[in-house]
Structure 1
Amino acid sequence: MLPRILLQGFYKRGKFVAVPAPSDPHDPRDSPWWWDHLADNAADLAHAGVTSVWLPPVTKALQGSEAAALGYSVFDDYDIGSKEQMGTVHTRYGTREQLTRLAAILRANGLDIVLDLQLNHRKGGTGPDGLTFGYRDAFGNKSGGRFQKNATCFHSRYPADPVPPGFHPDIPQDPAVPDGIGELQIGSKVFFGPDLAHINARPEGYVSNGLIAAVNWVTRALDAQAYRLDHVQGVSAVFLRALLNAEGAAGKFAVGEYWDGDAEKINDWITAGHWMASRCSAFDFPLYFTLLGMSHDPNFDMASLDHAGLAGINPFHAVTFVENHDTESRRDLVAHNIQPDEKPLAYAYILTSEGLPCVFFKDFSRAPGCLGDRLRPVLVNLMWIHQNIAEGPAEQRWKDREVFVFERTGGARLLVGLNRHRTRTRHLDNVVTGFGPEQALHDYTGHSPDIRTDQQGRVQLTIPANDRGLGYVCYSVPGIGEREPPEGQDAQQVFEGAADLDIPCAQAGKTIDIARIYCAPCSAVHASLQFDPRDWMPGTALTLTLVAPDGAHVASRTFSRTDAGMAIDATATVTGFHRWRIHADDPRAGFTASFSLATRYRAPTTLQDPDK
């Protein structure tokens, strides 16, 4: 398996303003929808070395598609840009169809999809307490959608008597909530909205089972491979373990946002049996705060980088980062940013040391308002080094207040030197390495000339001054070539039709459009149809048809009551959206049939024509 590089595929423009969108009156009307923007850049990301893309929350938020609709104020767990709710069908990022197409293009480029799950709270409820959540169904009916909620789904934050309106008096805090330890009947210390009671909700299991089912549904719909878990300090670890070990998520990678600077505390949450029992990784906030100090503290000691942060004690469960959507925009949470001219040195550390590095979209992209014109060449080079050279444990080779040198001891080996002084070049004598005697070494950053080890395997190392953040070198043996890029994958997506979802069930005498899939030319399309035939009559049948962009029928199959699970195969002859349709035949006028259409197809690697 290739070493991995995670890309955070979104950013914020200010505290409560998401990425550009044509629905935002402050943005140009010709701004692309974000799902299309990512699809248009997928091939470039894969070529640069990205192996997985973290999407912003895909579900409909309280604010619909407004500027503040970052997605973390989740409203409906079964609306991913397909229902007329919160004043819009699309989310801030686009429609379900655009999202499905993006997912398929990411997979065609060999990129894994990381879903951002907000499991702590819900917003947008109605009623006198604001805790009544009803959702539209597939026919647009109010309060007909799946997984509705009321006050018994949320725990009380107050031990006071009487309990304030809107909080059920008998729903105490769930077990194993990091922020809720020792606080009887009080939820997370950070209150983002009505807190879901994952364990103690009434009836028992309603919230936990409902959330697990919803996560599994969106995972199937998009063919997702991994999860980012928002604000895990407010969510029961008992529930999170159940979610990540359930059938839909079992074996998939997950990383939690545990916002704390204490590496031991986060590592305990990761590893302890009563917490996550090593089923989940975590973002390395302790290392982030160390890198922030390297950027801003004139007295910072570079020796503190030696096995710093969570990655220093548990590298296989640490996701390292230099910036994210909150640290870049929330001065109420972080007093300073790591400035653009300081970021290269920080990225040089996370992209050569241990842990799974996460690159921030705004740092990588050359889009207006992003920093790619300055940082992208640096990141592409460091990502190449990460993918092709950086392997094995890290071993410290030199450290003082200004310089830190370490060696990755796996594979071809990699010797990394970091110098934070902005004007002084450092010359180090007799730096021990594991390369052996008389070994030529090449600096793969181009910052310093080639060198050679002596008879004892030591080197004379020159590290340039940290002008514009470029005070680093990365030495290894000459002639290292590129590894094979990840292979493109078929998308394997499931479209479920039911009255309480967003795709209607099949109905007697009607032809229903299920979904459009974005296919590459001359590519195979495979599908299977599942349904429950228990109330079918002898003449009942479902006919499934694949329609080409020009309206021609590519393939069709009629399913009788004994054909559940049978397949249909076709070939997409042109690039573009191909439409799945279903028609039900039954003598009963009111006959309906829920179904599940699992389809496998290959998308093109680029968004060739967004409108077709």
Structure 2
Amino acid sequence: MMQNGVMMQYFEWYLESNPHLWKLLKEDAKHLKEIGITAVWMPPAFKGIGGIHDVGYGVYDIYDLGEFDQKGTIRTKYGTKDEYLDAIEALHQYGLQVYGDIVLNHKMGADGNEFVKAYEVNQYNKNQVISDEELIEVPTLFTFPNRHQMYSDFTWNWTCFDGIDYDILSKRHATFLFKDKNWDSQVDDENGNFDYLMGADIDFSNPHVVAELENWGQWYLSMTHLDGLRLDAVKHIGAHFYKDWIREIRVHYQKELFTVGEYWHGDIHHLLNYLNEVEGEMSLFDVPLHYHFYEASHSFGQYDMSKIFEGTLVDSAPNQAVTFVDNHDTQPSQGLQSWVEDWFKPLAYALILLRKDGYPCVFYGDYYGIPHSQIKGQSDVLDCLLWLRKEYALGKQDDYFDDSSVIGWVRYSEQRSLACIMSDSVGGTKDMYVGERYAGKIFYDALGYCQNQVVIDQQGHGLFKCQGGSVSVYICQEENNG
């Protein structure tokens, strides 16, 4: 991550499959650079069970980046392999880093079925077996016939998995643990053990599987020349696997390879425990902070804004926190729906873009909109906040989190200062220090929500104002050459 870096999650769940996203991204590379984005998180690039409709998480073949006729299509939802590589190259040409989305927890859409001895387990306590041993028929044979063993001749069978959620013989939906298998350790403790999520659950204690995934990782990075990774569903995968896998990949690739994991939990202690288990080999998304934004946006002005960072990852482990407002899982109609209300979006983005801690991520749906849900993008305010981050959000930070409704902070370096003030309620004012060198100078709200000008007094203080349910970011009139 570079100084004042900002990544963009360049997709949302309901994107159309035409025009191809990879083509759009290639064309958008210059614009992303100009607005201040420094890295792009691209969606999963490999073939999923849903063909051109698969968002990327229904994983079928991780070696098929839109190159082979599988699942009824050569291209993926986002385009072909060549278009994918072209998009990465275009982003690199403009100096942008590129992060790939990796989904290794499960596989779906098997090429054949197998008979396996298994036990049904309790949905709410997966450590509890609730049936006798039984013979079930399961889709666990992955031979990828249309790839013709190109890149890898590895065949996946039931021994590569721990369990599954459907028996073809009895047409029964349940969670089954295969005989002589155990759920992975070092996973989240929800439901007793949260190894199982969906599909055919990969067994990370199988050395053949681990070797194949290490080979794939080296192939994938050599093929794509990515700069980093976003790891999906890490709380369902034994921490030991990713700790070792990332180290192996970095040694092979000889690159820093920025890596962020998605550990979806609102309790900071689960995130800190996981960071400890992986020995700090990755960052994590700040899920607790997202939920604070969600709660604040639905609290009708009653949220205690002075405590918005309490119990968050950016507060406890700022160097390993990727801050975000919303994503493809929290958007309306999705499984983790917890959409931050539109009125609060400018406040939330100011809280992640204009502060010194955390690595912020801008969501495609917030910038470009989500037509499926009739949500309009907020590119104007985000463009301004991104510009402010790049030009003004530098140096020291003084916080004024001394009120439950109106909070603020000041960033100042040798070059310039910025004063941010916001309120989730009726608005108000705050006396903040921006520096004696600004005595007599005029500050104005770069976002344009407040029209008043602030004259800095001889002691370097100003009385800054914000409207109700709004945010204002003040900069010196003389310093703005933009």
Aligned-pair CA distance for 1:142: 7.6
Match of 1:349 in 2: 351
Cα distance in 2, alignment partners of residues 306 and 450 from structure 1: 29
Counterpart of 1:20 in 2: which secondary structure? Answer: coil
Cα distance in 2, alignment partners of residues 409 and 223 from structure 1: 37
Match of 2:317 in 1: 314
Indicate the structure (1 or 2) with the bigger Cα radius of gyration: 1
Cα distance in 1, alignment partners of residues 309 and 150 from structure 2: 56
Match of 2:284 in 1: 282
2:113 aligned with 1:127: yes
TM-score by length of 2: 0.83
Q: Flag the structure with higher helix content.
A: 2
What residue identity is the alignment partner of 1:119?
L
Cα distance in 2, alignment partners of residues 328 and 231 from structure 1: 17
CA deviation profile, 1:369-411 (whole Å, cap 9, x unmatched): 6889651110000011112221346432243121111223555
CA deviation profile, 1:218-271 (whole Å, cap 9, x unmatched): 21211100100111101111110112111345521011111111123312322x
Checking the alignment, whether the CA contact within 8 Å between 1:134 and 1:144 is kept in structure 2 is no
Of 77, 85, 97, the residue aligned with 1:112 is 97
Checking the alignment, whether the CA contact within 8 Å between 1:282 and 1:319 is kept in structure 2 is yes
Counterpart of 2:243 in 1: which secondary structure? Answer: helix
Of 180, 184, 193, the residue aligned with 2:199 is 193
Cα distance in 2, alignment partners of residues 347 and 175 from structure 1: 36
2:8 aligned with 1:20: no
What residue identity is the alignment partner of 1:194?
A
Q: What aligned pairs does 1:373-452 form with structure 2 within 5 A after superposition?
A: 375-392=378-395, 394-408=397-411, 410=413, 412-421=416-425, 424-428=426-430, 430-433=431-434, 438=439, 440=441, 442-443=443-444, 444-448=446-450, 449-452=452-455
Structure 1 residues 144, 230: CA separation in 2 closer, same or farther (over 3 Å shift)?
closer
Checking the alignment, whether the CA contact within 8 Å between 1:157 and 1:187 is kept in structure 2 is no
Of 160, 178, 181, the residue aligned with 1:168 is 178
Match of 1:8 in 2: 9
Checking the alignment, whether the CA contact within 8 Å between 1:82 and 1:90 is kept in structure 2 is yes
Match of 2:59 in 1: 74
Checking the alignment, whether the CA contact within 8 Å between 2:406 and 2:429 is kept in structure 1 is no
2:266 aligned with 1:261: yes
Checking the alignment, whether the CA contact within 8 Å between 2:164 and 2:176 is kept in structure 1 is no
Checking the alignment, whether the CA contact within 8 Å between 1:398 and 1:431 is kept in structure 2 is no
Match of 2:83 in 1: 98
Q: What aligned pairs does 1:515-526 form with structure 2 within 5 A after superposition?
A: none
Cα distance in 1, alignment partners of residues 370 and 187 from structure 2: 40
Structure 1 residues 366, 152: CA separation in 2 closer, same or farther (over 3 Å shift)?
closer
Counterpart of 1:127 in 2: which secondary structure? Answer: strand
Counterpart of 1:195 in 2: which secondary structure? Answer: strand
Return 5+ residue gaps in structure 1 as ranges.
14-18, 22-30, 159-163, 483-612
Aligned-pair CA distance for 1:450: 4.0
Counterpart of 1:341 in 2: which secondary structure? Answer: helix
Match of 1:498 in 2: none
Of 460, 467, 471, the residue aligned with 1:457 is 460
Cα distance in 1, alignment partners of residues 33 and 374 from structure 2: 19
Cα distance in 2, alignment partners of residues 314 and 396 from structure 1: 18
Aligned-pair CA distance for 1:368: 5.5
Aligned-pair CA distance for 1:415: 2.2
Aligned-pair CA distance for 1:84: 1.1
Checking the alignment, whether the CA contact within 8 Å between 2:295 and 2:303 is kept in structure 1 is yes
CA deviation profile, 1:304-323 (whole Å, cap 9, x unmatched): 12566211122211111111
Cα distance in 1, alignment partners of residues 242 and 220 from structure 2: 17
Aligned-pair CA distance for 1:355: 1.0
Checking the alignment, whether the CA contact within 8 Å between 2:368 and 2:377 is kept in structure 1 is no
Of structures 1 and 2, the one scoring higher in RCO (CA 8 A, sep 6+) is 1
Match of 1:360 in 2: 363
Counterpart of 2:201 in 1: which secondary structure? Answer: coil
Checking the alignment, whether the CA contact within 8 Å between 1:364 and 1:372 is kept in structure 2 is no
Return 5+ residue gaps in structure 2 as ranges.
115-137, 166-173
TM-score by length of 1: 0.67
Cα distance in 1, alignment partners of residues 321 and 334 from structure 2: 25
2:304 aligned with 1:301: yes
Alignment: residue pair count: 441
Identical columns (%):
27
Match of 1:472 in 2: 472
Of 83, 88, 93, the residue aligned with 2:73 is 88
Cα distance in 2, alignment partners of residues 166 and 307 from structure 1: 40
What residue identity is the alignment partner of 1:20?
E
